[in-house]
Amino acid sequence: MAKRIQFSQHGGSEVLEYRDYQPAAPGPREVRVANKAIGLNFIDTYYRNGLYVPPALPSSLGTEAAGVVEAVGSEVTRFAVGDRVAYATGPLGSYGELHVLPADNLVHLPDSISFEEAAAVILKGLTVQYLLRQTYELKGGETILFHAAAGGVGSFACQWAKALGVKLIGTVSSAKKAALAKELGAWATIDYSHENVVQRVLELTDGAKCPVVYDGVGKDTWETSLDCVAPRGLLVSFGNASGAVTGVNLGILAQKGSLYVTRPTLASYANTPQNLQAMADELFAMIASGKLQVEISNRYALKDAAAAQDAMSARKTTGSTILLP
């Protein structure tokens, strides 16, 4: 038997339960991982509250963790018992002491990266990798807008953008978060609690706006983001922290300058084991070089996952939060 967080109905954090469960034996192409550290992400709350529907209830939560391979299926050749691994995608279940998932979803974890660092960075770091290096391949010299720059994904985006020679304008909700974003590498910040984001972007870009805007907030920032994209530029809508964007009239893209919009996901980029490992290798190299610092601001026991999610949803956290089994 092992422990995990699960829920039997959709709702707030009060539906989360810390329960015993019996982990399955790995199938032919699966691996069972003993988690050492678990990542906490906004997408976890989407499954909990019903925005995203899990395969069945009761369900566990989470897709991100790092640990040690405990057992392998009969057809698994890339991993062996005792290997250090990390994962960011796959079936729900990382909020547990043990997790069984397809071997194709795992990456090898170098000895230079700790389990806690990997759990704190793997999903957010891979997200930043595909956003900045693939969805819109930044070359250096661009001025971009990134919402929630002091959050989990944003904190890594600030650092990676600086390393690429990109001027990142980050939106934040307080002076404290503005200072953090600047410390991490943001070129400029906009405190949306008292500043007009569109006006400040126009001022900072001398009226040119941004060739690409990265928006993980969703509903609350959709129209603002469109107004910050330069003609024929790209809006990358990659998250729904404030709720899903709905009722979109495509005609508005023409009105605002023949804009492009994409709604990418990590799974579409890490679509083969080789692509996934290559993306992870670039991420781990950024950490090893010192260009990407992993800040773990909050550590919670696995049993306290509800409190951790509440703090994240209330935007009381900066950097990364992890759960410890």
- In 3D, which of 213, 168, 170 has the Cα closest to residue 195? 170
Does residue 255 form part of some domain? yes
Domain boundary (241, 263, 285) is at 263
Span 158-192, pLDDT tens digits: 999 999 999 999 999 999 999 999 999 999 999 99
Mean pLDDT, all residues of the chain: 95
Residues 60 and 175 in one domain: no
- Cα separation, 240 vs 243, in Å, equals 5
Residue 39 has pLDDT above 90, yes or no: yes
pLDDT the model gives residue 318? 67
Q: For residue 231, give its domain range.
A: 140-263
Percent of the chain with pLDDT over 90: 87
Does residue 128 form part of some domain? no
What secondary structure letter does DSSP report for 13?
Answer: G
Type of residue found at 19:
R
Give the other-Cβ count within 10 Å of 236's Cβ: 24
> Reduced to 3 states, what is the DSSP secondary structure of residue 315?
coil
Does residue 134 form part of some domain? no
- Cα separation, 71 vs 50, in Å, equals 32
Burial zone of 137 (CB within 10 Å; 0-12 exposed, 13-18 middle, 19+ buried)? exposed
What is the separation of C-alpha 185 from the centre of its chain, rounded to a whole number of angstroms? 18
pLDDT the model gives residue 43? 85
Burial zone of 1 (CB within 10 Å; 0-12 exposed, 13-18 middle, 19+ buried)? exposed
Q: What is the CATH number of the domain that holds 181?
A: 3.40.50.720
Residues 202 and 306 in one domain: no
pLDDT the model gives residue 180? 92
Residues 283 and 239 in one domain: no
Name the band, by pLDDT with cuts 50, 70 and 90, for residue 216: very high
Q: Which residues of 47-77 are buried (b: 16+ CB within 10 A; e: fewer)?
A: bbeeeeebeeeebbbbbbbbbebbbbbeebe
Span 97-147, pLDDT tens digits: 999 999 999 999 999 999 999 999 999 999 999 999 999 999 999 999 999
The vertex-217 CA angle with 86 and 17, nearest 5°, equals 55
Residue 196 has pLDDT above 80, yes or no: yes
For residues 229 and 210, the answer to whether their CB atoms sit within 8 Å is yes
Name the band, by pLDDT with cuts 50, 70 and 90, for residue 51: confident
pLDDT the model gives residue 222? 95
Residues 154 and 240 in one domain: yes
Count structural domains, the chain: 2
Span 251-287, pLDDT tens digits: 999 999 999 999 999 999 999 999 999 999 999 999 9
Residue 316 has pLDDT above 80, yes or no: no
Residues 259 and 274 in one domain: no
Q: What is the CATH number of the domain that holds 46?
A: 3.90.180.10
Lookup: tokens for 28: 């032919």
pLDDT the model gives residue 119? 97
Name the band, by pLDDT with cuts 50, 70 and 90, for residue 247: confident
Does residue 126 form part of some domain? no
